[in-house]
């Protein structure tokens, strides 16, 4: 009977499914979210970029026109599984060629799971320049339905005054011997320097908290309001109270907040940008660890004064490893694929600072890796043909255990495309590398797509290989992506053979002379011959790889505000 009921719900979702279409021009516009005017990348002449919104089962269609003049672009839909739509995942050089200037391109995919997600450019570090926004998937069968009255979105991000090409030029320099990333000039909430939400006594608000940051995490605490966390990274959890949370870049938390019973006063909440290497190390934490703070407001009565700037004396955020998946899915069984990634910093042959997995830095290839999987027949199970992209091949049905040993003295967030993985262990700072023991693994782990791995420590995740595609696993500090901290999961390649490349994908590649068949070097005959494949990562070279932009500011675009962003 239960199976029949679930089938009925599934059919009902299909009947209700709609096609939601967006037409986007990606443009340079001018904005000053923190009072400093600068060029940003917006959509349809406006910034902040719009939210994508749909319901489980809907098809999202986005027609993109690249109006950036001299720069290519591309969009990744962070957390969307892309089941059967592998070519729509969006990272340039992986599942598509970048979209060249003056060209059109269409993304189309089904929203297969509810939750809070986001989209961002996955092309040459463009999202710290503004090309990012929320992606909200509503659930007609929300297990927490009836426990809240309204929904709000709260985005958190660091912000820079220099453009990304300038910052990359400074970072990928032989003089950067300490591997320093760019440091932001501000914290933004909902892409602004302050935010307020109108609350009504007695109501409960569902707040979708999304980090769209490029580098720093954000601490969050509400005055006199306890957060009840119900979802992380698109996965429902057993309800868990939290007074403080730490949201790493690309992570999401959905919380329920009960309004106060009366309009006695207005209340504050604090967002504090965590630029410290390891907040849990009190001995190493510098006095300026949290230099950027934003006091937001919960407005109960506009006639009453605004609250004073909110102060939090110490940060001890909830341990998200203790969360449990609401669906009760138990720890996956004994893995038959074990991947260990040791993360370190180092220098390439030219003395440029890089990031490494297992002493290898990621090098983009001539042929997008997914297209190599499509076009190389039975050889697509050979990791060698994909070139220097840190490839790992897994068969359909494999249970994969992946461990990151973070040998750095800072906390780093790691994201896997195409999957919600189980978090099996997330050891505290200073615990060293994983010793292979699983005695601490929870029976019902939390599932998510981005895990913060503590300093000098490790984290272990598991997933079942049931989503054929080419999926990146990378640090979500965008500067470390640019420095090469990426591995590639070639999943169920036997099911990718002979799949078709959409015509607009082909056109984008052809316009830039990018081959779409063969191994990493474009060799279609001898697939193990990688002559001509790229073996060294790109460097700034007067704009050819990391373009230099005009210093002339474009005309200011309109400020976008919708029902999610508050006042």
State pLDDT tens for residues 52-86: 999 999 999 999 999 999 999 999 999 999 999 99
What confidence score (pLDDT) does residue 205 get? 98
List the structure tokens of 112. 């297969």
Q: Which CATH number covers residue 402?
A: 2.60.40.420
Among candidate residues 41, 49, 100, the one with its CA nearest the CA of residue 73:
100
Classify residue 560: in a domain, yes or no.
Answer: no
404 and 499 within one domain: yes
Helix/strand/coil for 421: strand
Classify residue 88: in a domain, yes or no.
Answer: yes
Classify residue 486: in a domain, yes or no.
Answer: yes
Q: Between the CA of residue 253 and those of 298, 327, 460, 483, 519, what are the distances in Å?
A: 19, 17, 21, 28, 40
18 and 93 within one domain: yes
Average pLDDT over residues 196-219: 97
Residue 6 pLDDT > 70, yes or no? no
122 and 213 within one domain: no
What confidence score (pLDDT) does residue 197 get? 98
426 and 302 within one domain: no
Whether residue 333 contacts residue 402, with contact meaning beta carbons closer than 8 Å, is answered with: no
160 and 132 within one domain: no
Classify residue 117: in a domain, yes or no.
Answer: yes
Burial class for 202, CB neighbours closer than 10 Å (0-12, 13-18, 19+): exposed
Cα 441 from chain centre:
25
Q: Which runs of consecutive H residues, i.e. helices, occur in 175-263?
A: none
Question: From the CB of residue 395, how many other CB atoms can be counted at a distance below 10 Å?
Answer: 16
Q: How far apart are CA 88 and CA 76, in angstroms?
A: 8
The model carries a pTM of: 0.93
Average pLDDT over residues 411-437: 94
* Confidence class for position 17, pLDDT limits 50, 70, 90: confident
**Among 228-242, 418-432, 552-566, the least confident range:** 552-566
Classify residue 541: in a domain, yes or no.
Answer: no
List the structure tokens of 73. 């672009």
Q: How far apart are CA 24 and CA 26, in angstroms?
A: 6
Residue 14 pLDDT > 60, yes or no? no
Range of the domain at 482: 337-511
What confidence score (pLDDT) does residue 15 get? 53
Average pLDDT over residues 271-287: 84
Average pLDDT over residues 458-476: 98
306 and 160 within one domain: yes
Average pLDDT over residues 289-301: 93
Average pLDDT over residues 202-228: 97
Q: Which of 290, 322, 354 is the last residue of a domain?
A: 322
* Confidence class for position 8, pLDDT limits 50, 70, 90: very low
Classify residue 43: in a domain, yes or no.
Answer: yes
> Cβ contacts of residue 503 below 8 Å, gap of 6+?
none
393 and 294 within one domain: no
Around 78, how many Cα atoms within 13 Å sit in the side-chain half-sphere? 30
What confidence score (pLDDT) does residue 542 get? 53
Classify residue 381: in a domain, yes or no.
Answer: yes
What confidence score (pLDDT) does residue 343 get? 98
* Confidence class for position 547, pLDDT limits 50, 70, 90: low
Q: How far apart are CA 465 and CA 335, in angstroms?
A: 11
> Cβ contacts of residue 187 below 8 Å, gap of 6+?
156, 157, 158, 159, 216, 218, 271, 272, 273, 292, 293, 294
Average pLDDT value over all residues in the chain: 92
Q: How far apart are CA 89 and CA 82, in angstroms?
A: 6
Q: What share of the chain is helix, strand, coil (3-state, %, to 5)?
A: 10, 35, 55
Whether residue 522 contacts residue 534, with contact meaning beta carbons closer than 8 Å, is answered with: no
437 and 317 within one domain: no
Residue 126 pLDDT > 50, yes or no? yes
Of all residues in the chain, the percent with pLDDT exceeding 70 is 92
């Amino acid at each position: 009977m239960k199976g029949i009921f679930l089938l009925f719900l599934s059919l009902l979702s299909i009947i209700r499914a709609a096609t939601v279409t967006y037409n986007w021009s990606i443009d340079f516009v001018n904005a000053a979210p923190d009072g400093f005017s600068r060029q940003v990348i917006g959509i349809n002449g406006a910034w902040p970029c719009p939210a994508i919104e749909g319901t489980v089962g809907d098809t999202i269609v986005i027609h993109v026109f690249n109006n950036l003049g001299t720069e290519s672009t591309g969009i990744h839909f962070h957390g969307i599984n892309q089941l059967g739509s592998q070519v729509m995942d969006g990272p340039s050089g992986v599942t598509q060629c970048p979209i060249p200037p003056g060209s059109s391109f269409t993304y189309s995919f089904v929203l297969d799971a509810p939750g809070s997600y986001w989209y961002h450019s996955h092309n040459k570090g463009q999202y710290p320049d503004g090309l990012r926004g929320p992606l909200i998937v509503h659930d007609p069968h929300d297990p927490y339905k009836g426990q809240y009255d309204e929904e709000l979105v709260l985005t958190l991000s660091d912000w820079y005054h220099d453009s990304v090409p300038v910052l990359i030029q400074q970072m990928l320099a032989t003089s950067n011997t300490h591997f320093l990333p760019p440091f932001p000039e501000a914290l933004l909430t909902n892409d602004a320097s302050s935010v307020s939400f109108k609350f009504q006594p007695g109501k409960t608000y569902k707040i979708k908290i999304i980090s769209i940051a490029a580098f720093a995490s954000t601490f969050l605490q509400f005055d006199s309001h306890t957060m009840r966390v119900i979802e992380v990274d698109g996965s429902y959890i057993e309800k868990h109270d939290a007074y403080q949370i730490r949201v790493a870049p690309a992570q999401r938390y959905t919380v329920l907040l009960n309004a106060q019973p009366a309009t006695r006063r207005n209340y504050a909440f604090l967002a504090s940008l965590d630029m410290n290497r390891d907040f849990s190390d009190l001995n190493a934490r510098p006095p300026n660890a949290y230099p950027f703070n934003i006091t937001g407001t919960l407005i109960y009565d506009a006639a009453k004064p605004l609250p004073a700037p909110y102060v939090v004396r110490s940060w001890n955020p909830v341990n998200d490893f203790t969360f449990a998946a609401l669906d009760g899915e138990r720890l996956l069984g004994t893995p038959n694929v074990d991947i260990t990634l040791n993360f370190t910093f180092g220098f390439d042959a030219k003395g440029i600072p890089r990031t490494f997995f297992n002493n290898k830095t990621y090098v983009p290839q001539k042929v997008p890796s997914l297209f190599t999987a499509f076009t190389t027949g039975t050889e697509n199970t050979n990791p060698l043909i994909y070139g220097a992209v840190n490839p790992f091949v897994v068969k359909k049905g494999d249970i994969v255990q992946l461990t990151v040993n973070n040998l750095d003295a800072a906390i780093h967030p790691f994201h896997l495309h195409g999957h919600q993985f189980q978090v099996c262990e997330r050891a505290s700072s200073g615990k060293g590398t994983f010793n292979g023991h699983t005695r601490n693994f929870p029976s019902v782990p939390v599932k998510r797509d981005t895990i913060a791995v503590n300093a000098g420590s490790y984290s272990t995740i598991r997933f079942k290989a049931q989503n054929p595609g080419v999926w990146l696993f990378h640090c979500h500090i965008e500067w470390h992506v640019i420095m090469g901290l990426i591995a590639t999961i070639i999943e169920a390649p036997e099911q990718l053979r002979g799949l078709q490349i959409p015509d607009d994908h082909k056109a984008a590649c052809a316009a830039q002379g990018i081959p779409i068949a063969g191994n990493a070097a474009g060799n279609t005959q001898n697939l193990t011959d990688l002559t001509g494949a790229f073996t060294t990562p790109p460097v700034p070279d007067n704009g050819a790889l990391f373009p230099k932009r005009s210093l002339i500011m474009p005309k200011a675009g309109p400020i976008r505000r919708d029902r999610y962003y508050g006042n």
